[in-house]
Amino acid sequence: MSYLVLARKYRPKNFTELVGQPHVVQALTNALTQQRLHHAYLFTGTRGVGKTTVSRILAKSLNCEKGITALPCGVCENCLAIDIGRFVDYTELDAASNRGVEEVQNLIEQAVYKPVTGRFKVFMIDEVHMLSNHAFNAILKTLEEPPEYLKFVLATTDPQKVPVTVLSRCLQFNLRPMAPETILEHLEHVLALENIVAQKSALFSLARAARGSMRDALSLTDQAIAYTGADIKDEEVRQMLGSVDKDHVYGLIDALARGDGQEVIQICDQLRDQGLSASQALEDISYVLQRMAVFQFSAPKSSVATEIDPDVARTQALSERMPKDETQLLYSICLKGRSEIGLAPDEYAGLTMILLRLLAFKEEESGASPPPQGHAGEQEAQKKTLESVKIRPIETVQAPISSPVAASVPPWVVDQTNTAEGGNAQKVSREAEQRTVQTPASAVSIEAAHKPLEGFDHASEALAGSGFNLPVRDMVQRPKPSLPAPAQVNSGDGDLDEPYVPEMLADVDRWAEDESTEAPAASAFRRPALEPAQIVNEPPSGALQVAVRQASQNADIGTIDPKEQFKTKLKPTQEGDYWLSVVQQLIQAELVQSLARELALQSQLIAKEAGSWLLRIERESLKTVNSVERLTKGLAQLGHVLELRFELAPVQDSPAMRLAQIAFENQQIAEAKILNDPFVIQMMQEFDAKIIAGSIKII
Report the run of H or E that residue 564 belongs to, with start and end: helix 562-569
Model pLDDT, residue 402? 37
Please name which of 568, 588, 651 lies closest in space to residue 616, comparing C-alpha atoms: 651
Q: Where in the chain is the domain with CATH 3.30.300.150?
A: 396-685
Neighbours of 63 (CB within 10 A): 26
Interval 559-572 mean pLDDT: 55
SS3 489: strand
pLDDT of residue 527: 38
CA angle at residue 654 from 649 to 657, to 5 degrees? 115
Residue 561 has phi, psi (to 5 degrees) of -60, 125
pLDDT at 128 over 90: yes
pTM tops 0.85, yes or no: no
Residue 58 buriedness (CB in 10 A; 0-12 / 13-18 / 19+): buried
**Cα angle 252, 253, 256; round to 5:** 90
Question: What CATH number labels 396-685?
Answer: 3.30.300.150
**What CATH number should be reported for the domain whose range is 6-174?**
3.40.50.300
Q: In the prediction, which pLDDT does 643 show? A: 87
State how far the Cα of 395 lies from the Cα of 435, in Å rounded to an integer.
12
Contact 698, 666 (CB under 8 A): yes
**How far is it between the farthest Cα atoms of the chain?**
125
pLDDT digits (tens, 9 = 90+) for 638-688: 888 888 888 888 888 888 888 888 888 888 888 888 888 888 888 888 888
CB 256 within 8 A of CB 330: yes
Q: Closest Cα to residue 635, out of 670, 680, 658, 605?
A: 605
Query: 274-278, 298-302, 506-510: lowest mean pLDDT where?
Result: 506-510
pLDDT digits (tens, 9 = 90+) for 164-174: 999 999 999 99
Beta bridge partners of 438: 398
Strand 396-398 versus strand 438-440 pairing type: antiparallel
CATH classification for the domain delimited by 180-241, as one of 1.10.1840.10, 1.20.1260.10, 2.40.70.10, 1.10.8.60: 1.10.8.60
Burial 434-455 (b: 16+ CB within 10 A, else e): ebebbbbbbbbbbbbbbbebbb
CATH code of 246-361, in short, is: 1.20.272.10
Could you tell me whether strands 612-617 and 604-609 are parallel, antiparallel, or unpaired per DSSP bridges? antiparallel
Give the least confident one: 42-46, 121-125, 292-296: 292-296
Q: What is the mean pLDDT of residues 15-40?
A: 93
**CA angle in degrees (0–180, nearest 5) for 370-375-381:** 110
Residues of the chain with CATH 1.10.8.60: 180-241
Q: What is the pLDDT of residues 214-230, one digit of tens each?
A: 999 999 999 999 988 77
Numbered ranges of CATH 3.40.50.300 in the chain: 6-174
Half-sphere exposure of 541 (CA within 13 A, CB side): 14
> Which span out of 279-288, 358-367, 620-629 was modeled with the highest average pLDDT?
279-288
- Most confident range (mean pLDDT) of 123-132, 293-302, 499-508, 574-583 is 123-132
Say if residue 470's pLDDT is above 60: no
CA distance 380 to 690: 61
Does the structure show a pLDDT above 80 at 432?
no
* CA neighbor of 265 nearest in space, from 365, 356, 347: 356
